[in-house]
Amino acid sequence: MQKIPALVIALTAVLYGSTALSAETVGVRKISVVSQDNPRPLAVTVWYPAKADGEVAPSSGNRVFESIPVSANASVRDGRFPLILISHGSGSRAEGMGWIATKLAEAGFIVAGPNHPGTTSGDSTPAATPKVWERTKDISTIITMLSADKHWAASIDPARVGALGFSLGGTTVMELAGARGDLSAYQRYCVENPEMMDCHWFRGGHGFADGEQVSVDPLDLGSIDKARFEQSNRDDRIKAVVAVDPGLATAFQPESLKEIKIPLALINLGSPGHVPVAVLADKLANQITGSNYAQVSDADHFSFLPVCKPGAADFLKSVGEPDPICAETARPRKDIHAELERQIVGAFTSMLKPGN
């Protein structure tokens, strides 16, 4: 599970920008989701195919990431649409996946994603990071709420529900498909690979609360609730999954992978030989019957973040950001996103065909 840098806290909060509205555009709404079964409040962003009766969203003024054209307070377009749940990476936000959520909405999907408490920007600690069972419950709660809410239920096809996740979000959607963690394997992984970002995060002695860095005790992976870490979090309502650079790649129970029955696409960011062991998913694909595997060449883990504005890399350097958030690989990030858009939209279009 890779850890997204702390500076993304301030940069992915709002990524929406003004644009002229077309007859068929993408709407965005922010909603709150809470239930008796999952009492922690979730801030959820919903992207959807919209009518042209909304308002032009104000410019975000973001110094680093390019804005994404959306329509505020627009009506949902007539029809019933497949639903895609998205799960962000550790220390990031749902808005950071807005570029791909927007493309899915343009293609005729309703897309919804929460800011997972405990592993989102400004609210992230090592102790909360391995609690994937909380993240899967967040996603399942959102499906239940949207399916029952009068505003959304008439627009969602409950027989066509998918899930998309990146990094720790990739772990989340893998477990929603039926994969189960192996705590002993995860402990071995960190012993053998202490330089990996997630293992470094666990022993780093800091986290984030209320948007500020705080001191915390290093996390001993042996203290994790083994029963919960290894429990099944499968949600049978989810019929297709796409996982990009999924965390826990070395620490899923092999028998659980063999039992996954829904279509699943795995994508790694990087050329062969350049994908970190933390997220390398080629062996996972070999264990999951009928899964598809692809690598995006000349990319890296940061390539899934939004496209950066000109001069953003210099700005980040000036404020002391140590991670290459905006460093270009051998390919422009826009080109990498275009390939990912084709892969992800194409995968869900195929896997969630009516009648599948």
pLDDT number for residue 57? 65
Tokens of 130: 């391995």
Domain contains 1: no
Domain contains 2: no
d(CA 72, CA 56): 6
Closest CA to 133 of 253, 231, 259: 231
Confirm if 2 and 305 have CB atoms less than 8 A apart: no
Tokens of 95: 């808005």
pLDDT number for residue 60? 55
Edge-first strand listing for the sheet containing 206-209: 119-120, 123-124, 206-209, 212-215
pTM: 0.91
pLDDT number for residue 13? 46
Domain contains 92: yes
Which run of H or E residues covers position 347?
helix 333-351
Confirm if 326 and 17 have CB atoms less than 8 A apart: no
Domain contains 356: no
Structural domain harbouring 229: 8-351
d(CA 235, CA 20): 39
Q: Residue 214 to residues 122, 124, 132, 206, 284: CA-CA distances in angstroms?
A: 10, 10, 22, 6, 36
Domain contains 51: yes
Tokens of 198: 């997630």
Q: Per the structure, how many domains does the chain have?
A: 1
106 φ, ψ to 5°? -60, -30
d(CA 132, CA 128): 8
pLDDT number for residue 276? 94
pLDDT tens for the chain, 356 residues: list them: 545 444 443 444 445 544 444 435 899 999 999 877 777 889 999 999 999 888 876 555 578 888 888 888 899 999 999 999 999 999 889 999 999 999 999 999 999 999 999 999 889 999 999 999 999 999 999 999 999 999 999 999 999 999 999 999 999 999 999 999 999 999 999 999 999 989 999 999 999 998 899 999 999 999 999 999 999 999 999 999 999 999 999 999 999 999 999 999 999 999 999 999 999 999 999 999 999 999 999 999 999 999 999 988 888 888 777 778 888 899 999 999 999 999 999 999 999 988 76
Domain contains 3: no
DSSP-derived secondary structure letter, 114 = E
Alpha-helical (H) ranges within 37-167 are: 98-106, 132-148
Q: Residue 243 to residues 171, 201, 355: CA-CA distances in angstroms?
A: 8, 22, 23
Q: What is the residue type of 331? A: R
pLDDT number for residue 24? 57
Tokens of 7: 């500076």
Confirm if 71 and 56 have CB atoms less than 8 A apart: yes
d(CA 335, CA 307): 10
pLDDT number for residue 8? 46
Confirm if 111 and 105 have CB atoms less than 8 A apart: yes
pLDDT number for residue 320? 74
**SS3 category, 86:** strand
With 0-12 / 13-18 / 19 or more C-beta atoms within 10 angstroms meaning exposed / middle / buried, residue 314 is: exposed
pLDDT number for residue 23? 39
pLDDT number for residue 59? 54
What CATH number should be reported for the domain holding residue 70? Answer: 3.40.50.1820
